[in-house]
């Protein structure tokens, strides 16, 4: 499965939701464009997301942006799953709106890739 890509604006609103993201989370792009990306997170991260984003915009302190980490995502059906999240805050601009690109890879895909690399290295 290719990495899921989600583009958000500076308020956290989703502006683009890739086909891989649609398959992974179970939502269509039309359902999510304009909604806050926190709808893809379980509690307590869902309620804290806007605080994290505001803190980053005010201070520039990176807690996730530019740093890959494993977090928990939530699908449309409410099920949760571990995923590798990489957020990139390069200055994408659309008019006056700053955009951030979020890449998501389910942890199972990471494990399969590591297993493949380990197997090849030991052949």
Predicted confidence (pLDDT) per residue in 36-86, tens digit: 999 999 998 888 887 887 777 788 777 666 777 788 899 999 999 888 888
Q: Which helix (H) or strand (E) holds 35?
A: none
Q: Which residues have C-beta within 8 Å of that of residue 115, sequence separation ≥ 6?
A: none
Domain spans, the chain: 4-121
Instruction: Quick: pLDDT tens for 76-85.
Output: 999 998 888 8
**pTM for the full model?**
0.74
pLDDT at residue 96, rounded to an integer: 47
- Phi and psi at 78, nearest 5°, equal 90, -10
* Burial grade of 9 (CB within 10 A; 0-12, 13-18, 19 or more): middle
Q: What is the CATH number of domain 4-121?
A: 3.30.450.20
């Amino acid at each position: 499965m290719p990495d899921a890509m989600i583009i958000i604006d500076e308020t956290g609103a989703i502006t683009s939701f890739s086909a891989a993201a649609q398959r992974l989370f179970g939502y269509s792009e039309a359902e999510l464009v304009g909604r806050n990306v926190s709808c893809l997170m379980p509690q307590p991260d869902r309620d804290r997301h806007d605080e994290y984003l505001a803190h980053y915009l005010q201070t520039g302190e990176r807690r996730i942006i530019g740093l890959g980490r494993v977090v928990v995502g939530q699908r449309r059906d409410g099920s949760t799953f571990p995923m590798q999240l990489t957020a990139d805050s390069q200055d994408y601009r659309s008019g006056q709106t700053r955009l951030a690109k979020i890449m998501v890879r389910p942890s199972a895909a990471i494990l399969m890739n590591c297993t493949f690399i380990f197997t090849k290295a030991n052949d």
